Amino acid sequence: MKPFVTLGVCAKNAEKTIGECVDSVGRQKYPAKLMQTIIVDGRSKDKTVSVAVNAASRNDLEVEIYSDGGKGLGTARQTVIDHANGKYLIYVDADVRLFDDFVEKHVNFMEENSEVGVAFGKPMHQEGTLISTVWDLYHFTAGGFIGTDATIFRSEALIQAGGFDLSIRGAGEDVDLINRIKAKGWLTTINKDARFFHRFKENFRDFWDEQLWFGYGDHYRYHKNGDPGMFIGRLGGSFVFGLRTALKSYDMTHEKISFLIPFQMALRDIAWWFGLIKGHVDGYGHRKIQYG
């Protein structure tokens, strides 16, 4: 018999994308009676919740809706765990659209690989604005990324690792937990059969703000774990890696804008450093760690 699985969507001010996200959850081939869908809202100031509810309704999808109380992503992610009943927990970000067989492919993969604690989905390429398309080509070519965009966790591994760090208000909560899961001896990998689309930031300002946000979050992780590895590649090395990725991307897709990848990676790193500095100025990460 197929196992029960929980899907968690954590969203904030995502009215433009969460409808498609919930639609894709509602279209899953996996038996509906074996799926629990949880939405955690981060005190959105737009119509995120109503759009999500309407999407669930038109797909006859039962959803549980909670709030993170304005405490941030660590609490939002942990709220899903606290209410989850599944053997597996799949996080689906609000700007993600799943293929119809996504849940089925992910669950089958985990059932066949008992040593895997976390499996990331495979991002597929889609066109958008110049900024979003270049960044989409980068991730499509790289093959995937560590995070909770479209990722399945073994509940046993989540419990062993102690859940999410509730002190993390923004980015970095996923990498922090995944590293602790790996430290417990679980393997992490990419499941190339679990495919999804990710709608990346569509303009310069939003892209800059997001990357700054990542740098801000990594300042916390650095003070928590003392890992200097996160700085490797942020000192110019990523441009070289970006150029290699651009060549591979062009070979795969024949899209000339692939050669903008290293320049966008350089922009990413500049924004990241600004975020890291802001985190230091704010003292983010200089305080007590709190787990779920």
263-285 pLDDT, tens digit per residue, is 999 999 999 999 999 999 998 88
Q: Which domains does the chain have, with CATH numbers?
A: 5-202 (3.90.550.10)
Confirm if 84 and 6 have CB atoms less than 8 A apart: yes
Per the structure block, which two tokens stand in for 211? 């990357």
Q: What's the pLDDT tens digit per position in 65-97?
A: 999 998 999 999 999 999 999 999 999 999 999
List per-residue pLDDT tens for the chain, 292 residues long: 899 999 999 999 999 999 999 999 999 999 999 999 999 999 999 999 999 999 999 999 999 999 999 899 999 999 999 999 999 999 999 999 999 999 999 999 999 999 999 999 999 999 999 999 999 999 999 876 778 899 999 999 999 999 999 988 888 899 999 999 999 999 999 999 999 999 999 999 999 999 999 999 999 888 887 777 677 667 666 788 889 999 999 999 999 999 999 999 999 999 999 999 999 999 888 765 555 5
